[in-house]
Structure 1
Amino acid sequence: MNPTGLLEVTAVRRVTPRTVRVTFTGAGLAGLEPWPDQQLKLLFPPPGRPVRLPSADGDVMRWYQAYLAIPSEERPVMRSYTVRSRDGGTIDVDFVLHSGSAGPATAWASRAAVGDVLGRYGPDPAYRRPLSTTDILLCAGDDTAIPAIASLLSEVDNAVAFVEVADAAEEQPLPGEVHWLHRDGAEHGSRLLEAVRAAKLPDGSVAAWLAGEASTVRALRRHLVAERGFDKSVIEFTGYWRRSLTQDDAPTAEDLADAAEKLGDSAGWKGN
């Protein structure tokens, strides 16, 4: 499947007060093989302009260089998302409407309508990760991690999930053992950290999948390694977003350290 192309909106609906689910169709989606935690890049065009896609084939680095070569006034804004679900030639993507000043993705999602068009890169099978083979899979994340956690829970029956959301209205139907944590005004990530630190996990081998705000993900990972004795190789982790920063901002020293460690484990998530 060609990992790049256009997506057209066919449906928009609010699934919670702060979550918009957008259904897309596009060439190549019908032949897309599903897998858990299926990620893609969405390309949001500048206001009043059509989507301009990079004209490059082959690996992702050549594609990215072609993307950067697009003149800045025409270059779309790129953001990473996870496929929430798929049905034949369509995919669903959930957008969390963050409070405060809206970034380009949140602003687009808040006014998305049938017929709108975005660009995409992915999902690319080259980034497919194997499922853990341990006795227990610990999943922990915030609102932005719900689509990936949902896809993981649909594939395994040995998961324990902790999910932090703004309040009870943000809960969504998910299969399996899910512990919902409500911020209710508390600092983002604090409820999730408290719950995972206090959790009594079932006996047996355990792997972990962590995603959400980057500093919270780091704190969770440090807890599992330093306090629970997890080997780093059994922890899959991704900082989806950064407090007070966007994906357009330069990476911090911690971001670079995380990236280097993930590349060092590029042979795959052991989870044995």
Structure 2
Amino acid sequence: MSGLPFRFFTVHVLRTARVGAGFVRVTFGGAELHGFVSGGRDQRFKLFLPHPGQDLPVMPDPSDPDWFTAWRALDPAVRGIMRTYTVRELRKAGQRSAELDVDFALHGDTVPASGWAQAARPGDRLVILGAVEEDNGGVDFRPPPGTDSVLITADATALPAVAGILAWLPADLPAKVWIEIPHADDRRELPSRADTVVTWLIGDGATPVLEAVRAAELPGSTPYAWIGGESAVVKALRRHLVSERGIDRRAITFTGYWKRGSSEDDLIAEVTD
């Protein structure tokens, strides 16, 4: 994969910590990790988990530029379990040391990534596919020139991305944020230089966040909206902002982090079959 803006990295667990009622933060390290680069904001990457009994996920040739086709050709019962995650924080020291924090939303032991994170111990290994250039396609939060305010909605799965976005925003930019979480204990400090108003909604469905945004007075005349969470909720919010608020659809970034009733494996199959 030489010359491409991303590559595979083998990493291992350094430590874990519970972050609120519904998250585990896993900190990764490894000699290769220093080459990993984050563009900040909602920087995403692919994470490959081993199956039970495997020390390391089974992966295609890392030099293959068509890695996805090669990965798909492997036996699903053996190949690395692929999931998409957000960089919570990347820290580098000197020329060889790096640490990567990833927040895993917990959905029970039967969900592969959630179960893996809850059982993770120092030394456990996995593989990530990440950027090697700061300006890369894994960053979606890109306000157009002239943006004078920001609107953000998210559920718990998108909370790490929201934290990265707010930390990146410039000083004094007005930002209204709605975050729906299942547990009040998942509220956390979200430092930002921007002029942020964060509303936490305790629930698990479309109604709270839709009603909150519909009732809100939005700042600025040229807003940029970022919407992340369950696919149907994301689409409903986008329709509201475009059809009822008159926001330019080109000034809205929307990402379905998950789809009710479907796993990420199901969504991959929908796209590729």
**Alpha-carbon contact 2:180-2:204 (below 8 Å) kept:** no
Shift of 1:251: 6.8
Conserved? CA contact 1:181–1:191, under 8 Å:
no
Structure 2 residue 167 is the aligned partner of structure 1 residue 167: no
Q: Does 2:199 align with 1:180?
A: yes
- How has the CA–CA distance of structure 1 residues 198 and 130 changed in structure 2, closer, same or farther, with 3 Å as cutoff? closer
1:270 is matched with: none
Per-residue CA distance 1:120-158 (angstroms, 9 max, x = gap): 111364314463130111111011111111111111142
The Cα of 1:32 is off from its aligned counterpart by 3.3
Give the aligned partner of residue 120 of structure 1: 128
Match of 1:67 among 55, 64, 71: 71
TM-score by length of structure 2 reads 0.84
Number of residue pairs matched by the alignment:
250
CA distance in 2, matches of 1:118, 1:55: 15
In the TM superposition, residue 165 of structure 1 has moved relative to its aligned partner by: 0.8
- RMSD over aligned Cα, in angstroms? 2.2
Distance, in Å, in 2 between the alignment partners of 1:108 and 1:122 is 20
1:96 and 1:130 map into 2 onto residues whose CA distance is 21
> Mapping of 1:166-245 within 5 angstroms?
166-176=182-192, 177-183=196-202, 186-245=203-262
Q: Match for 2:101 among 82, 86, 92? A: 92
Maintained 8 Å contact 2:16/2:24:
yes
> Contact conserved, 1:38 with 1:123, CA < 8 A, in 2?
no
Q: Tell whether 2:159 aligns with 1:146.
A: yes
TM-score, L = length of structure 1? 0.84
4+ residue segments displaced more than 6 Å: none
The 1:73–1:129 alpha-carbon spacing in structure 2 relative to 1, beyond 3 Å, is closer
1-structure distance, mates of 2:217, 2:267 = 38
CA distance in 1, matches of 2:208, 2:114: 24
How many angstroms apart in 2 are the aligned matches of 1:129 and 1:187? Answer: 25
Aligned to 2:95: none
In the alignment, the residues of structure 2 paired with residue 33 and residue 3 of structure 1 have an alpha-carbon distance, to the nearest angstrom, of 10
Correspondence for 1:24: 28
- Counterpart residue type for residue 68 of structure 1: R
Structure 1 residue 15: Cα displacement: 1.0
Q: Report the counterpart of residue 265 of structure 1 in structure 2.
A: none
* Structure 1: gaps (5+ residues): 257-272
**Stretch moving more, 234-243 or 120-129:** 120-129
CA contact (8 A) 2:155 2:230 kept: yes
Distance change >3 Å, CA 14–CA 231, structure 1 → 2: same
Q: Can you give the 5+ residue segments of structure 2 that lack an aligned partner in the other structure?
A: 93-97
Distance 2:31 2:160 in 1: 22
Using the alignment, how far apart are the partners of 2:242 and 2:59 within structure 1? 41
Residue 4 of structure 1 deviates from its aligned partner by 0.6
- Secondary structure in 2 matching 1:53: coil
Identity of aligned residues (%): 38
